[in-house]
A and B are shown apart, each in its own frame.
Chain A
């Protein structure tokens, strides 16, 4: 479904991604972990098409598309969804308007008719239940005055309504209490299907207790330096990243020697 090859990207002239390789197949859940500033959000943003990032090398193939040929809205229409680490507040635009406009744009792309107000309300009520949000959030301005946890749930609500093929969750779990964490994780689990994939960016392995990943990757200095299974996440939580850094340093030295030889 998603194939990232040797992806390099710059922000503000600084190279942040330095050769990311990652393959995600339908039905899989991948966890991406890494220390602060290692480039996790940058990777997520580059995939979603946020302006301001310069891709300097590599390619990303998503469902037979060259991802970089698609505008951000086209990626969403093709089924990519990014849950933002920092959801944006938009005064004066209601949450329900936002959800419906997005859903209709996606339906249009799929050749489906627009959803009318009545059907939409029925649908969104179902989805509100999943994330245990009150209907009153629909009439509020997008994220305006929402608490940290409410913003995260609102991201999952959007995901539930838009039903993406590839969901990238950028720290959907940060700042959540235990109950909210379970709600968010369950919301994501509901989406799990054979034809969908999920990439979870996180610092903590606790969300992975609910949302068990098939693979765990460690992003360090803009590269995926180690991949493993669920256990790798636990090791990271226990021992931090230092040991991986050391390991990586050794391998690159070794590489260096091979190159010299």
Chain B
């Protein structure tokens, strides 16, 4: 039997706190949590018998007696590497949210609120996309979420700068788990960029198990960037679920760089005609990192299109997993779906497992997919070296180029150039200083 320490500890936490959990006084939230807790008690953390979890055993998490993170001190985490350009900055803490915004406040049409204090506003939305049925962490998140943010773009609003949400979990002395919950509503015809940034600190194991629900109304254009840079003591199991109305566009980036064991699910349902999405991601692991992505694109309406590019970089004994699920429902005709996944494996001990999973029930469908796993291209390395560039620099340059194909359209300049530099330095051979620009 696999250990159930984490599960027991978290169910116990739910039982003892349930009366104090946010929304306990409003019937629907309490009911939602109760059902989720029941579900979690039944199923626990997902196991290898579930197809989409086959390559990512959660035993290292199961063994740890996680307790929900204490209500954090109400300060913005100070050790952030940078502000993401000029952004509306929000820190999500256990005791609410902290805003770092210009003196004249938020622009008209943008609402940023603490989710646990805005539960009335998200009735009919919360839990609507992220169901507790599918195996994963949604059930435990729904039972225990104690922090989070609601971001609403009013119809036809165009944001002048990105919203940068910082999730920071810290644990010292004992293992702590955070269950952030995020609801994003991009109103009809609105446009904006939202960055969710996950970080962790402290001397003890942390678990982040966030769930984000995104409603993209018709004609809206939303960019969602998910940057996971947690410490090597962190576990991260997150989920993003979107629903897109007609002629809307969602572009998603998932950048998994940190944590010892990370799994992210990115799912979108193209629920209105003409909706389109692009899902891109990078997972870059070294040492013994295990980084898993599961994506699911549900073509539920005709004339919808999707584009997907995921790239893995694996060194040392790291492990990468990508499963790209594309579902085309019966009657959803005139569908375009393109998926590419590519990985570079830099050492003998590194492994990657990438697979498309196509379920197509309509006939007017153009679907392409391709998966490649390889090493750095020897011809390209020689070409660079033949111009005087050292082997170390050549390797760094090729890796950077590999990642750039995903980063190049990232809609936040400062973040894009910071990550670009980081990829150049990723091999850690100290060449970056000279190579920048």
Contacts and interface: CB of A to CB of B under 8 A. Distances in A.
Do A and B form a real pair? Answer: yes
Interface of A: 48-52, 71-73, 75-77, 81-82, 84, 87-88, 90-93, 97-98, 101-106, 109, 114, 117, 141-142, 158, 162
Given A87-B383, A98-B384, A106-B388, 15 more contacts: A49-B385, A73-B388, A73-B391, A76-B385, A81-B386, A84-B383, A88-B377, A88-B379, A92-B400, A92-B402, A92-B408, A93-B397, A102-B384, A104-B434, A105-B390
A106 B379 CA distance: 21
Nearest to A74: B388
20 contacts: A48-B386, A72-B385, A73-B385, A73-B390, A75-B386, A90-B377, A90-B398, A91-B402, A92-B401, A92-B402, A92-B408, A93-B401, A93-B404, A101-B384, A101-B389, A102-B387, A105-B387, A105-B390, A114-B434, A162-B388
Contacts of B405: 91-92
By CB atoms of chain B within 10 A, which of A72, A93, A114 has the most?
A72
A233 to B, nearest CB: 27
B273 interface: no
Interface string B341-382: 000000000000000000000000000000000000111101
Contact of A76 (B388, B404, B435, B437): B388
Given A51-B378, A88-B380, A101-B435, A93 B385 contact: no
Interface of B: 377-380, 382-391, 393-394, 397-398, 400-405, 408, 434-435, 437
A92 B376 CA distance: 13
Contacts of B379: 88
B342 to A, nearest CB: 11
Contacts of A81: 386-387
Contacts of B398: 90, 93
**4 nearest A-B pairs in the assembled complex, by CB-CB distance:** A92-B401, A102-B387, A105-B388, A92-B404
Contacts of A50: 382, 386
By CB atoms of chain B within 10 A, which of A81, A91, A141 has the most?
A91
A119 to B, nearest CB: 13
Given A92-B400, A92-B401, A92-B403, A101 B393 contact: yes
